[in-house]
Structure 1
Amino acid sequence: MVRGVGHYLPERIVPNSWFEERIDTSDDWIRSRSGIERRHFAAEGETTSQMAIAAAKEALRDAGMGVDQVDTVIVATSTPDLTFPSCATMVQAGLGMTKGFAFDVQAVCAGFVFALANANALIVSGQSKCVLVIGAETFSRILDMEDRSTCVLFGDGAGALLIEAATGTGENTDRGILSSDLNSDGRYREMLYVDGGVSTTGTAGKLRMQGNPLFRQAVEKLAATADAALGKAGFTHTDVDWIVPHQANIRIIQGTAKKLDMSMDNVVVTVQDHGNTSAASIPLALYEGKKRGQIRENDVVVTEAIGGGLAWGAVVLRW
């Protein structure tokens, strides 16, 4: 079950007007196509692991638990500090955690959903008892600031959930992760990718995206994976209190809610303030949903995301 939630956003806020001064775009154009008004960019020298550590510490404080109670750290990221070691082991060291194990998950924007599913599997198998699941990204480092179709969309940040094993009945009345649905299809690679890597260019590369085709795939696949996860949990749409989607684009969020026959009143939206923070977007939205008083104990929450690969999936949990 969820014990705590934390977040971290870099101090630097970048409004849409910052881009107006540098490329051929406008605040109206960005808002109308994405819903984004501002985003956060990491400071020079600020790393993904540092942001992840800050979010993890807040999740521990929120839970009233110590790092000595954690046995596993999973970090979902596409922008690690180094090629290796994993960002998760850096978080483990930064927290002063000297037992257990840590590893990264790379499923781009769907990374946090994949990480949650892995955390649940580890707990159910008995391998882990208390898992820090973190999404953290510094996407500002891989943006082509001359590509107006992509550079305005992304931001940096980190969010964390502390998940702990608990005894339940095995029914969907239990609290915690109730089901997951994971998917990928490598045939769609060209829709969203980075044009660099260790074995190709030897560089980090820059993000490239085919916006319109990706939009069409996103709405269809997000609705389908949410439906599948709900079915596995024995729920229908009417049982859902909150959808907490990947915060990529307000039109994708609205389109998915419509396909699921859900009101936007039951959707946690943060894209206007954060932009697309990739694997960090869902935990950041969960943090905001709890902070706002939207998400409450025993609420049924559906998280769903799609990212490069393409990789997509959903998790149903009871808060």
Structure 2
Amino acid sequence: MIEAAITAIGGYVPERVLSNDDLATMVETNDTWIVERTGIRERRIAGPDEYTSDLCAAAVDNMLSRYPVTVQDADLILVATHTPDYPFPSVSCQIQAKFGIEAAGAVDLNATCAGFVYALQMANGLIRAGLHRKVLVIGADLMSRITDYTDRSTCILFGDGAGAVLVEGREAEPAFLAAHSGSDGTGGRHVYRTGFRGDMFGEPLRDSKLLVQNGPAVYKWAVQTVPQGMEALLQKAGLGMEAIDWFVPHSANLRMIESICEKSRFPFEKTLYSMVRYGNTSAASIPLALSDAAANGRLKPGQHVLMYGFGGGLTHAGVVIRWGI
């Protein structure tokens, strides 16, 4: 049986730092207020000529500099993003061209902040089904381009970044131990960005083309939904909570993660997150947390990792894997 495993990882954030003190010059806020409510101290902001495809390419370059792998022989590229450079061509096609990957399919998928985990689930399923053997998976978002910097409740949260992994087939014990996903479309009005339509379920939306979020409603949904999803994952994997070495949730808000850990009775000190220095980077937040933990030696081969993404849609998805690199 061919099983899928993550064989390399990389990450990238832009050079420009937007600190809490910087934001205090733009809206009525301060460092203490932001840290107390979100745990975020700074975020990275792309330059004016830097786009999602550039972030993706830099994350892949970082991965290639850290591991003895190649991407030119990948046969599928999956990019999880909701901020593509263009409606089409896709970011995945731009990455195919950038790295000269000759024989790869290319697909972008949009599950917002849950996108990276959905892409991992797809890569695992396609490899185990024998349809692909080497999949380049990237999670990336350019949140600064869709953030309303006059709204202090949202502009304090978001930053830009990308994370990339290789998922390869091999004859070995399974590395992907369980998967779980779900959605609640009725909650879509709580976090959205308008496009062709300016209404939802017959109700008008703020048609600014920028991100709009009802923070308390999303918070309540996530704190209820994620612990239930974690429990479902553990049952599918046949593991107890104590067997999980690292919990890697979407890095939306540190206080939200603390509440999720408390409700699920998972030790907060065994949680990996990226928002303190990078802000909420949407589809990039989980791979950035993994990339940093792998680089600094906290994440080790053989450890059990539970990832859980959640966000607009409303969407959520989780996986349990045995880390192998």
Same fold (TM over 0.5): yes
Give 1:291 shift. 1.5
Letter of the 1:197 counterpart: G
Q: Residue 258 of structure 1 aligns with which residue?
A: 262
- In the alignment, structure 1 segments of 5+ residues that lack a partner are none
- 8 A contact 2:303–2:322 mirrored in 1: yes
- 8 A contact 2:222–2:310 mirrored in 1: yes
Q: Residue 148 of structure 2 aligns with which residue?
A: 144
- 8 A contact 2:73–2:102 mirrored in 1: no
- In the alignment, structure 2 segments of 5+ residues that lack a partner are 200-206
Q: Residue 178 of structure 1 aligns with which residue?
A: 177
My pick for the range that moved more, 102-111 or 263-272, is 263-272
Residue pairs, 1:218-233, within 5 angstroms = 218-233=222-237
Give 1:270 shift. 2.1
Determine if the alignment matches structure 1 residue 156 to structure 2 residue 160. yes
Give the Cα–Cα distance (whole angstroms) in 2 for the partners of residues 198 and 64 of structure 1.
45
Give the Cα–Cα distance (whole angstroms) in 2 for the partners of residues 24 and 13 of structure 1.
19
- Say what the alpha-carbon RMSD is for the aligned residues: 1.5
Give the SS at the match of 2:262.
Answer: helix
Give the SS at the match of 1:18.
Answer: helix
- 8 A contact 2:79–2:91 mirrored in 1: yes
Letter of the 1:188 counterpart: G
Q: Residue 51 of structure 2 aligns with which residue?
A: 47
Q: Residue 11 of structure 1 aligns with which residue?
A: 15
Determine if the alignment matches structure 1 residue 276 to structure 2 residue 274. no
Give 1:63 shift. 3.1
- 8 A contact 1:60–1:162 mirrored in 2: no
My pick for the range that moved more, 261-270 or 110-119, is 261-270
Q: Residue 311 of structure 2 aligns with which residue?
A: 307
Aligned positions, number: 312
Give 1:222 shift. 1.0
Q: Residue 197 of structure 1 aligns with which residue?
A: 195
Structure 1 residues 92-134: Cα deviation after superposition (integer angstroms, max 9, x where no partner): 1111111121101100111111111111111111111111110
Give 1:278 shift. 0.1
Letter of the 1:112 counterpart: F
* C-alpha spacing 1:179/1:60, structure 2 compared with 1 (3 Å): farther
Q: Residue 187 of structure 1 aligns with which residue?
A: 186
- The TM-score, its normalising length taken from structure 1, stands at 0.95
Residue pairs, 1:70-109, within 5 angstroms = 70-109=74-113
Determine if the alignment matches structure 1 residue 120 to structure 2 residue 124. yes
Identical-pair percentage: 39
Give 1:269 shift. 2.5
Give the Cα–Cα distance (whole angstroms) in 1 for the partners of residues 238 and 59 of structure 2.
32
- The TM-score, its normalising length taken from structure 2, stands at 0.93
My pick for the range that moved more, 59-68 or 253-262, is 59-68
Give the Cα–Cα distance (whole angstroms) in 2 for the partners of residues 181 and 28 of structure 1.
37
* C-alpha spacing 1:198/1:83, structure 2 compared with 1 (3 Å): farther
- 8 A contact 2:191–2:212 mirrored in 1: yes
Determine if the alignment matches structure 1 residue 211 to structure 2 residue 215. yes
Give the SS at the match of 1:67.
Answer: coil
Give the Cα–Cα distance (whole angstroms) in 1 for the partners of residues 44 and 208 of structure 2.
21
Give the SS at the match of 2:44.
Answer: strand
